[in-house]
Chains A and B, each alone.
Chain A
Amino acid sequence: MPLKNYEMNKNNKKEFLDPVGKSVPRIDGRGLVTGQTKYVFDLKLSGMLVGKMLRSPHPHAKIISIDTKKAEKLPGVKAIITAKDTHGVKFGSNEFFFPQTADQQALEGDKVRYIGDELGAVAAVDEETADKALKLIDVKYEILPAVFDAVEAMKPGAPLIHEARNNIALILPTNFGNVERALKESDYVREDTFYLPSAAHTCMEPHVCVGQFEEFSDKVTLHVSTQAPFKIRETLAKCLKMDLNNVRVIKLAVGGGFGGKLEMLPMDFAACLLSKKAGGFPVKICYSRKEEFCFSRRKHPMIYKLKSGVKKDGTLMAISGEVIADGGGYCSYGPTVLAAAMMRIFMVYKITNFRVAGYRVYTNNPISGAIRGFGGVQSGFAIESHMDLLAQGIGMDPVEFRLKNITGPNMTVTNKMVITSNGLRECIEKATEACDWKNKHGKQKKIKRGLGIGIAADVMGSKMYKSHESAGSILKIEEDGSIHFLTGAADTGQGSNTALSQIAAQELGVSYGRIKITSADTAITPFDTGSFASRVTFISGNATKLAAADAKRQILEIIATEKNIPIESLDIKAEEIVNTSDNSVLMNFDQAVELCYSFNYGSQIIGRGSYNPKTTPVDFRTGEGNVSASYGFEAQIAKVEVNTDTGEVKVLKMWDAHDIGKAINPQSVKGQIEGSLFMGIGYTLWENLKFEEGRVVNANFANYRLPRSVSTCPVESILIETNDPQGPFGAKGMGEAALLPTAAAIANAVYDAVGVRIKELPITPEKILTALKNKNNKE
């Protein structure tokens, strides 16, 4: 009989002992299934006003004037703000290492650069009044010529979107080895171009925040649905010109993030400033689904032009080419995305000759930003399709080709990434074994079925954001032995609160049931860089393990004094204080805590830990940089069936073999794999955020098709435990990786089934039918 969630308290000792590696119930589960859990979406504060953003209807225009007089007179309007109410501060999400990418203002005053660009905001007593007020604001624009295509935007003479020589916001020029010579020495050289569309995060909870200004203390509090409360605090403080300790950012339960809730949006700033102007009443701004699709962030559309060479024996000789990313109106996380889109290949393939130039280009489209995998999903499709084509060109099995060229454990690769544990070979072997690759690949063409493989690697954090990417944890052992765990890490649904609590309990030697968690409130919990780049289990996990070890040391020091036993001979195991020299039990955990707090000692037990991996950002002059302290790996195989009459591709099954270091909670790990993988299937077959002249034309769930229950397929997850030397209990992160190779695995399987190669996502029935027709005409 499984334990009921509400039975998780300190009296349930035995069931939750040694929790690492067990699928214990989620620490927040009961609230989630009963509807009791509060999201910012549900938050209602006394006197709360409704805020709405004033947005540009034009993709590119100069702002001549903004007249708010009529709107101010409308009964029920409490505050209106425009750029003149701000300090005019520019911000960017990677501005520490890339100061030139601080290119956006919380409210634009001179110019708008995409449809939806924010130039003001209104707070009113209700939504209807706020909407009316927006219509009464008179903005005069001078329309400027706009550009919507990244390739066009790069050309001389294209309309300039920012004050710069051209629209190329970022260049990452890499040049390792000697590509020309390596291509000459290759037996087979081929060129391919791949096209990747935009996509939306579609978190179920939209972007939502409540800002409140406290006049008497000059402090501001923002409740916000976010993955990175401390990142929002930093940008908010900068734009409001306030000290960090006067800006409090509180995260409640978060209804999904996927990279879309990683940075301050103008709405967060506006809610705070509106509250100030309205005399301290709280202001809530909540995006509609349409706003979510049109004005939050989106996946970078990308073009990959690749030219590569191989030897007959399958040795990968060189990769060259260029990557062009449509960045939209502002930089957002552009540097990280471009770096991830290009440098991931070094984690996967041993390649010494590499010359790829990456360009992130301004256009008058909505802002491209971070989305699960950063640029890794786009590169996953391009590189892994390209690798299959190279293998095919020399008549080699795609699996054999990969096994010949992949990275292994304990190597420093060409761009100076340091790989320690690496289970990629085992991932490929296990996945191919599970799907019976030897007997099935290339042998089911008659029934139009095929198998395809894709492989990928992932980071455990990324040193792209600031000088450190640390995480902190605090463990307060209360007088009765129950534990209050404070972390700045943001659980957005992935289950990090549960995994971190498991780590804390394991290290301290107590039951998981003792722990209650607070996450995250910048005024209470320690700093954490945020939930992105699969970093929380690894980085926040290490901080938590250190905090638990610190608490344990404090307890054992007191017991050592009391019992006159050297501390080296003491340990806490399964809720008992043990003298390890003779394995005798001295007392239980509750008694130990009571002793610590007692008259003689009076010592509060507060364990603290902070962890910051020794990593370096990607140097945009060279492409070098060890962005992560550890790397995760995986192999994915798709089994598909293609209907040659309708062009429909049906994914019959997916296999995912994943080097996760150590599964802290196997059920959560599998949940992450499945969720990520289905997001990958969505992007492969259906998802495509479409634009016409900078306007999103499919901004709803009816026209932007997500995976649904009826379009699922079975998934077999194979967990490979390589015990990472730096991971907490050997664990690595893994939230992003499972969608990186999905599109290529499916495209490669389609080729195996019916012999057509699709190089542009999504793989629609139209594209399949056209490709089949062209193939038949040639034959």
Chain B
Amino acid sequence: MTKLKINNRIYDLALKGHETLLEVLRDILGLTGTKTACDEAECGACTVLINGKAILSCITLAMDVENDDITTIEGISSGDDLHPIQQAFLDKGAVQCGFCAPGFILSTKALLDENPRPDLDEIKKSLDGHLCRCGGYLKIFDAIEDAAKKLRNE
């Protein structure tokens, strides 16, 4: 059995070994908030956090992250309260179709946890691996700046 710690819950899973983390999340556990738009590490939609770092779940073997802290989009809000990053994405109109949003939100969390005061260039670089076709990114930058402020209690 493989023990995966996802959103602070332990799952005991009988894995064959070749399953990607993305497959485990979506197909086995039904955590479909994690998306994929390419399945070959080019779009960023499958991003999750492993020990706080943003990684692509489509090219990560589930067995390789046994005992790590895995956080998906389902795990970052607490109760009824949205995470400030989620709230900022809504307030700033950063979400259109929403398919890429979970990936962007988790990468933003990894960025702001490490760098609470990123400048625009740092924001842009940190999101380079993510594709959004609807919105053109600018409102996502606004949302991240807004979330950063709120997280710094400014």
Chain A positions near chain B (C-beta within 8 angstroms)? 2, 4-6, 23, 25-26, 28-39, 41-42, 44, 201-206, 253-256, 258, 288-289, 492-495, 667-668, 670-671, 674-679, 700-702, 706-710, 712, 714-715
Contact = CB atoms under 8 A, between A and B. Distances in A.
B51 interface: no
A667 B90 CA distance: 11
A34 B133 contact: no
Contacts of B100: 204
- Nearest 9 pairs between A and B by C-beta? A35-B33, A493-B97, A32-B98, A255-B99, A678-B136, A35-B73, A701-B42, A42-B32, A674-B136
Nearest to B102: A35
Contact of A205 (B31, B77, B99): B99
Contact of B43 (A493, A701, A710): A701
Given A33-B90, A34-B73, A44-B30, A675 B40 contact: no
A206 B32 contact: no
Contacts of A5: 82, 87, 90
Interface string B17-39: 00000000010001111110111
Given A32-B101, A671-B135, A709 B130 contact: yes
Contacts of B35: 39, 41, 204-205, 255
22 contacts: A2-B87, A4-B87, A5-B90, A6-B80, A33-B86, A33-B105, A34-B77, A35-B31, A35-B101, A39-B35, A202-B131, A203-B99, A204-B37, A204-B45, A256-B134, A289-B40, A494-B134, A671-B134, A674-B139, A678-B137, A679-B136, A709-B124
A670 B123 CA distance: 21
Name the residue in B39, B124, B135 with the highest tally of chain A Cβ atoms < 10 Å from its Cβ.
Answer: B135
B19 to A, nearest CB: 13
Give the secondary structure class of A's interface.
Answer: loop
B133 A712 contact: no
Contacts of B89: 33
Name the residue in A2, A256, A679 with the highest tally of chain B Cβ atoms < 10 Å from its Cβ.
Answer: A256
B71 to A, nearest CB: 12
B93 to A, nearest CB: 4
A627 to B, nearest CB: 26
Contacts of B92: 667
A42 B30 CA distance: 9
B97 A256 contact: yes
B74 interface: yes
A32 B133 contact: no
Nearest to B85: A33
B74 A34 contact: yes
Contact of A35 (B34, B43, B124, B139): B34
A701 B80 contact: no
Name the residue in B31, B45, B95 with the highest tally of chain A Cβ atoms < 10 Å from its Cβ.
Answer: B95
Nearest to A493: B97
A204 B43 contact: yes
Contact of A34 (B82, B132, B141): B82
A37 B30 contact: no
A47 B96 CA distance: 32
Given A34-B82, A205-B97, 19 more contacts: A33-B73, A33-B82, A33-B89, A33-B101, A34-B73, A41-B32, A203-B99, A204-B97, A204-B133, A255-B98, A256-B99, A493-B97, A671-B136, A700-B38, A701-B42, A708-B130, A709-B123, A709-B125, A709-B141
A46 B108 CA distance: 36
Contacts of B91: 2, 25
B32 A495 contact: no
Nearest to B97: A493
B72 interface: yes
A712 B136 contact: yes
A712 B42 contact: no
Contacts of B128: 708-710
A709 to B, nearest CB: 4
Given A34-B77, A493-B96, A493-B97, A710 B125 contact: yes
B138 interface: yes
Contacts of A23: 93
A36 B35 CA distance: 11
A26 B95 contact: yes
A35 B136 contact: no
Contacts of B140: 709
Contacts of B33: 34-36
B127 interface: yes
A493 B98 contact: yes
Given A34-B86, A255-B99, A706 B131 contact: yes
Contacts of A494: 96, 134
Interface in B92-120: 92-93, 95-102, 105
Contacts of A41: 32, 35, 99
B93 A253 contact: no
A700 B40 contact: yes
B131 A289 contact: no
Contacts of B136: 671, 674-679, 707, 712, 715
B82 A674 contact: no
A41 to B, nearest CB: 7
Nearest to B130: A709
A493 B134 CA distance: 8
Nearest to A679: B133
A201 B131 CA distance: 13
Contacts of A493: 96-99, 134
Contacts of A4: 81-82, 87
Contacts of B45: 204
Nearest to A29: B90
A667 B93 CA distance: 6
A303 B17 CA distance: 52
B133 A258 contact: yes
A618 B6 CA distance: 57
Contacts of B39: 288-289
B147 to A, nearest CB: 11
B134 A709 contact: no
Nearest to B42: A701
Contact of B32 (A32, A38, A204): A38
A564 B133 CA distance: 56
Contact of B96 (A2, A675, A701): A675
Interface in B47-103: 72-74, 77, 80-82, 86-87, 89-93, 95-102
B124 A710 contact: yes
Name the residue in A6, A25, A201, A712 with the highest tally of chain B Cβ atoms < 10 Å from its Cβ.
Answer: A712
A559 B124 CA distance: 57
Nearest to A37: B98
A57 to B, nearest CB: 22
Contacts of A675: 96, 133-136
A732 B81 CA distance: 36
Name the residue in A494, A675, A702 with the highest tally of chain B Cβ atoms < 10 Å from its Cβ.
Answer: A675
Contact of A701 (B38, B74, B127): B38
A206 B131 CA distance: 14
A674 B133 CA distance: 11
